[in-house]
Amino acid sequence: MVPSFSSKGFPYYLPDSWPHKSELPRQRKSVKSSSKRKFSDASLSLELTGPYIEDALLLSAYDLHFRLLDRPERFFGSKKLVFIDSGGYELAPEFDATEPKQYRYRPRRPFGLSEYLRVLDDLPKTVPCVIANFDWGTRYRPVTQQIAKARALFHRHPSSLSNFLIKPGTGAFLEIEKRVRPELSAMRGFAIVGVTEKELGANLLTKLRTLASLRLAMDHCKMQEVPIHLWGGLDPLLVPLYFIAGAGIFDGVSWLRYAYHHGAAIAWDSNSVLKGRVADSAMRARALTSGENLVVLESLATSMKRLADNRASDFSVFNYYAEELEAAYRTMVAEIPELRSTGSRRPVETI
C-alpha cells in the first residue's frame, strides 16, 4: 500500500514561512520566482502525514519539478521505498477511475522527458527509490518501443528499482493477449510491472479479468517474482479484489480525497457526520481523516497478507465486508477463467 501525494486536483496555498531556500534543491529556470511560489495542498498532507508513513510513499516528478511540495525530501529518509511517478498522472487531463471528476484541470507546461530526467538526477542518492518510465512520452507507442525507452531511462539510474508502466498503445485499454504477452520476455529485467486501473477495462469485471490475464501471462513467462503495480487503485473495497486478481502494489490519492469509513470510501462531510465531528474545521477534519485513512490502509495490507497466507480460503481476515468480498471473489472465480487456472494465486510481494 503506497499512499500517493499529487498536486492534481488540489488547490494551492501560500506558505506562512516561505522561503526555505537553504533546504531546497537548486533553482530551475522553468519555475516561478520564490516570492510568488504557491504550494499544493498535497504538500500540507505530506507535511502532516509524512512522518507517520513507515513503508513507502509515492511522489510525482511533476510536483517535484514544479516544486509544488514543500521540501518533500525531509520525509524520504525514514521510508523503505520512495516511489517516483514520471508525471503522467499530472500531465493527463482526466482523473483515475475512482476519483471524482468535477475539477477542470489543466497541467503546467513544460514538463517532458528532459525535466523528468533532471528530477531523477536530483534525487538524494541515499534514498531507496523506485522510478517509473516516462510513460507519457510513449503512451501511444507499441509496447516494444515503450520497453526500449524505459530500458534506456532505467539504465541511467541503475541504483533505483525499475517500475515499468505499460500503456495500451493504441486504444483506451490494455490488450494483454494481443499486445502485452508477446513482449513479456523483454520485461523480465524490470523489478516491477505496472498498469493503471483505468486502462484495465471499461468495467470492474473486465478490469479484474485483464489483471488476472496479465498475472497469468507473467507467471508463464517466468516472471512470478515480479509484482504488478496497480497505479491509481487504492479504494479499500476494490484493493482486495485487485489483489486476488494478481496485483501486489497499490498506490493512489483516494486516501486524500475520501474518508475510509468501515471499509468503504465516503465523502469527507459524510464521514464528519458519522464520526460526530460536524463542528470541526475543514483543516481539522482533513487532518483526522488523513491519519485515519493511513491506519486503515495499514490494516488492509495486513488483511491481504493474511488472505495470501490462507490462499483466499478465509475472508474473515478482512475487518469489514468479509461476506461481500467473499461473494465478489466467488463471482470472480466463476467469471474469470484465468483465476481458476492460477488457483487464485497470490502475489509474490506486497507493500
Partner 1 sequence: MMGGGGGGGRSRSYSQQDVEAMRRAMEATRQAEGSRRLDSDVNRVLQDLLVDFNDHDTEELRRRLRSIDEALGDDVQFESFVLGGSVAKHTAVSGLSDVDALLVFDRDSLEGNAPTDILNECMHLLSERLSAADAVATRIGTLSVTVTYQDGMEIQVLPAVRSGNEFAIPNSTGTGWRITDPYAFRTRLTAANERLNFRLVPTIKVLKSLLTRLPEDQRLSGYHQEALSLETTRNYDGPRTVKALLLHVLENASGRVLEPVADVTGQNRFVDADLGPADSPTRRAVAASLAALARQLRSLTTAEQWRHAIAEE
Q: CA–CA separation, 151 vs 285, rounded Å?
A: 44
Nearest to 249 by CA among 112, 71, 85: 85
Q: CA–CA separation, 83 vs 87, rounded Å?
A: 12
Q: Cα angle vertex 1, ends 60, 323, to 5°?
A: 140
Q: Which is nearer to partner 1, 32 or 340 (CB)?
A: 32
CB 310 within 8 A of CB 186: no
**Exactly one of 202, 295, 327, 334 binds partner 1 (CB under 8 A); which one?**
295
**Exactly one of 288, 321, 324, 348 binds partner 1 (CB under 8 A); which one?**
288
**Exactly one of 19, 171, 182, 291 binds partner 1 (CB under 8 A); which one?**
291
Q: Please give the size of the binding site for partner 1, defined by CB under 8 A.
A: 49
Is position 109 an interface residue for partner 1 (rule: CB under 8 A)? no
**How buried is 229 (Cβ within 10 angstroms: 0-12 exposed, 13-18 middle, 19+ buried)?**
buried
CA 41 to chain centre: 18
**Exactly one of 28, 139, 320, 348 binds partner 1 (CB under 8 A); which one?**
320
**Exactly one of 278, 283, 327, 334 binds partner 1 (CB under 8 A); which one?**
283
Q: How far is the CB of 306 from partner 1 (least distance, A)?
A: 8
Question: Coil, helix or strand for 84?
Answer: strand
Nearest to 280 by CA among 15, 271, 194: 271
Q: Which amino acid is at 248?
A: G
Contact code string over 8-47 relative to partner 1, x by CB under 8 A: xxxxxxxxx---------------------x--x--x--x
User: What nine digits make up the cell of 221?
Assistant: 513467462
Q: How far is the CB of 107 from partner 1 (least distance, A)?
A: 10
Q: Which stretch binds partner 1 (CB under 8 A): 174-182, 213-221, 313-321, 341-349?
A: 313-321
Question: Coil, helix or strand for 251?
Answer: strand
Q: Which stretch binds partner 1 (CB under 8 A): 76-84, 102-110, 145-153, 227-235?
A: 102-110
Query: What's the length of the chain?
Result: 351
Contact code string over 221-260 relative to partner 1, x by CB under 8 A: ------------------------------------x---
Instruction: Please give the residue ranges that form the binding site for partner 1 (CB under 8 A).
Output: 7-16, 38, 41, 44, 47-49, 52, 102-106, 257, 268, 282-288, 290-292, 294-296, 298-299, 302-303, 314, 316-320, 322-323
